[in-house]
Amino acid sequence: MTQSIQVDLAGFTELFRDLEEYVVSLDRVLSRIGAGEDPNILVEYVVEHSLPARLARAREFVGDSLENVIGAEALEKIAEQVEGYRG
C-alpha cells in the first residue's frame, strides 16, 4: 500500500539542504577523526552549526507532515519505538 503525502516545497527543500550538509560534513569530520585529529572537532561542528535545534526543526517538519496523513496517535506510536542514547 503506497500513500502520498503533500509537503511544503520550501520546507522540503530546506530539509534536503540541511540533510545534505549533515551527511557531507559528518563524513569529513569523521574522516579527520579517523586520521588522528582531536575528536572534539565533532562537538565543535555540532555546536557551531546548531545541529540539535536544526534537527528538531527537521523532525517537526516531517512529524507535522506525517501527522496530517496518519494522525497524532499513529505518529506517537512511531515515536515510542525509538531507542535513544543510553550513555
**73, 85, 42, 18: CA torsion to nearest 10:** -10
39-77 pLDDT, tens digit each: 999 999 999 999 999 999 999 999 999 998 899 999 999
CB 26 within 8 A of CB 50: no
- Domain map of the chain by residue range? 9-80
8-41 pLDDT, tens digit each: 999 999 999 999 999 999 999 999 999 999 999 9
CB 17 within 8 A of CB 58: no
